[in-house]
Structure 1
Amino acid sequence: MTDTDAVVLELESVLRARSAMLVAARPGECVFCYVARMVNEFGCDTTLRWATGYRDRWAPRATGLANRLGSVGGYCDCEIFLNGYTLVDAVLVPRPLFPGLTAQQLALYGYDDPAEATELAAPDIPPPCGTVRRGSTQPCSNWRHYRRGE
């Protein structure tokens, strides 16, 4: 083995360890907070990669997870949140419907109070996970099931 081979092997080892740390669930983190964090950080590959990875590593007895997510339209990681689960109102923050408009401009559109021209939206920084017991694939208190069109 050459010195270059040894350096490459060491680098690969460091990269494997670092990547494992990046995709590890946090202590007590629920599958929904984990998947949301992974999709936000690394995207969705149109599979349940993050959800089943969580299950395989931290909740191997939850063999029905993919079927349960599919039953609410969550056939891939991002669809879990598009079709079946959303943040509870308590963790949402108000966002302006028309950013940059003045109170006078909003009044032209029928908003006498600028506070009326807001909607609740997910915060830029996700709230801390409400935590679940080890081995659970249930959502923490930050998430609720919803029906599409609700």
Structure 2
Amino acid sequence: MLRTEGCDHTWRWASRFRELRSPDAAGMQRRLSRRGAACDCGIFVSELTLARHQLVRDLDTDELEQPAVAPDCSAVRRTSTHPCANWERIR
């Protein structure tokens, strides 16, 4: 959503995700804020990046890049607001 709709520096998309997946997860924004994210786009600037095993190699440049379509998440409950194994925390 951030790629197509952009970031308006609010929790618009994170809130929508929480409403759809886990309406009782009241602490999600607080948890993300403690880790440095101030809005939707901050999640991917200061909190998470796509895990290395999900990246694809550009055959022209030999660089690893994000895939055109995000892979489906696995290994977490459908109602979880925690990142799945496709994501790793930025240190």
Is this contact kept in 2: 1:61–1:135, CA < 8 A? no
- Could you say which residue in structure 2 is the equivalent of 1:74? 37
Q: 1 CA distance for matches of 2:20 and 2:72?
A: 21
Per-residue deviation, residues 42-99 of structure 1 (Å, max 9, x unmatched): 2211111110121123212211100111122211111101111011111101236xx6
Aligned residue pairs, count = 91
Q: CA RMSD in A?
A: 1.9
5+ residue gaps in structure 2? none
Q: 1 CA distance for matches of 2:78 and 2:56?
A: 29
**How many percent of aligned residue pairs carry the same amino acid?**
43
Work out which of the two has the higher radius of gyration on C-alpha atoms and give 1 or 2: 1
Say which is worse superposed, 117-126 or 136-145, in terms of deviation: 117-126
Using the TM superposition, give the Cα deviation of residue 131 of structure 1 relative to its aligned residue in structure 2, in angstroms: 5.9
Mapping of residues 1-150 of structure 1, within 5 Å? 38-95=1-58, 118-130=62-74, 132-147=76-91
Return the TM-score normalized by structure 1: 0.54
Please give the secondary structure, in 1, of the residue aligned with 2:70: coil
Is this contact kept in 2: 1:88–1:144, CA < 8 A? yes
Return the TM-score normalized by structure 2: 0.83
Relative to its length, the structure with more helix (as a share) is 1
Per-residue deviation, residues 91-123 of structure 1 (Å, max 9, x unmatched): 101236xx6xxxxxxxxxxxxxxxxx6332211
Using the TM superposition, give the Cα deviation of residue 130 of structure 1 relative to its aligned residue in structure 2, in angstroms: 2.4
5+ residue gaps in structure 1? 1-37, 100-116
**Displacement over 2 Å in runs of 4+:** 128-132
